[in-house]
Amino acid sequence: MKSIGKCLSEKYVLNGIIESHFSDAYAYIFDYMFNFILYNLSLLTLGFLFHHPIAVTIYIIITGSLRAVTGGYHCKTRISCYILSYTVFSIYLLTIATIPMISAYILIPIYIICWILILVVSPVDTPNKVFSKSAKKTARKKTYIIFFFNSIFTILSLLLHWNKGLIFIDLSLIICATGLYTGYISNIRRHHES
């Protein structure tokens, strides 16, 4: 069965919009965009269904931006990626629904530790995205930009005494750091095996 991206790229080739030797690249891009939009819309839908749209929006912004820039763990198959992604998201939703209110004196150190862990190891190569030296430099700069804007949002949450927001941010960062270090360890194992 052909993917949506493959069907679209073939149609564009037939209509003369793209050249045939770019068909596979466009198919990948179309599939990626379709999956990206569908995944994020499904998360938002679940967020509304379970009465946590703000928490889900924060999750999507933090994990989506960091994952795109810093790399990390990469599943071997698309189905295992879906299963892992929705499992991690379900754990996030369950945690925010059941976690008691936590003091900012605990949440801010967690925030700092997460960002130190992320900044130390990122970017992390994936089998589909190996960073060159210049790409690593660019990814690090983008990571610092994300850190800057995330810090502004965190400081505002702190000043507004919005501890729930701090919890959403910290849990999202813990998920990102876990994915980065899992990918980092996976890369070390892969290099030892080869």
pLDDT tens per residue across span 70-102? 988 888 888 888 899 999 999 999 999 999 889
Nearest to 150 by CA among 34, 40, 31, 64: 64
Q: Would you say residue 107 lies in a domain?
A: yes
pTM to 2 decimals?
A: 0.86
Nearest to 46 by CA among 11, 1, 96: 96
Q: Do 169 and 100 fall within a single domain?
A: yes
Predicted confidence at residue 115, as pLDDT, reads: 97
Q: Would you say residue 58 lies in a domain?
A: yes
Task: Note down the domain range covering 68.
Answer: 50-193
Predicted confidence at residue 20, as pLDDT, reads: 84
Angle in degrees, CA 149, 152, 155, rounded to 5 = 150
Cβ atoms within 10 A of the Cβ of 182, count?
14
Task: Profile the chain (194 residues) by mean pLDDT over runs of 10 residues.
Answer: 83 86 83 89 95 96 92 84 92 93 93 96 82 91 96 95 95 95 87 74
Q: Do 150 and 86 fall within a single domain?
A: yes
Is the C-alpha dihedral spanning 20, 26, 30, 32 positive or negative? positive
Q: What are phi and psi of 86, to 5 degrees?
A: -75, -30
Q: Do 155 and 177 fall within a single domain?
A: yes
Q: Do 18 and 67 fall within a single domain?
A: no
Predicted confidence at residue 28, as pLDDT, reads: 84
Q: Would you say residue 41 lies in a domain?
A: no
C-alpha neighbours within 13 Å on the C-beta side of residue 84: 13
Predicted confidence at residue 186, as pLDDT, reads: 87
- In the chain, the number of structural domains is 2
Predicted confidence at residue 1, as pLDDT, reads: 73
Q: Would you say residue 42 lies in a domain?
A: no
Q: Do 17 and 93 fall within a single domain?
A: no
Q: Do 71 and 32 fall within a single domain?
A: no
Q: Do 184 and 88 fall within a single domain?
A: yes
Give the three-class secondary structure for 18: coil
Q: Do 14 and 89 fall within a single domain?
A: no
Q: Would you say residue 43 lies in a domain?
A: no
Q: Do 60 and 155 fall within a single domain?
A: yes
Q: Would you say residue 44 lies in a domain?
A: no
Q: Do 65 and 19 fall within a single domain?
A: no
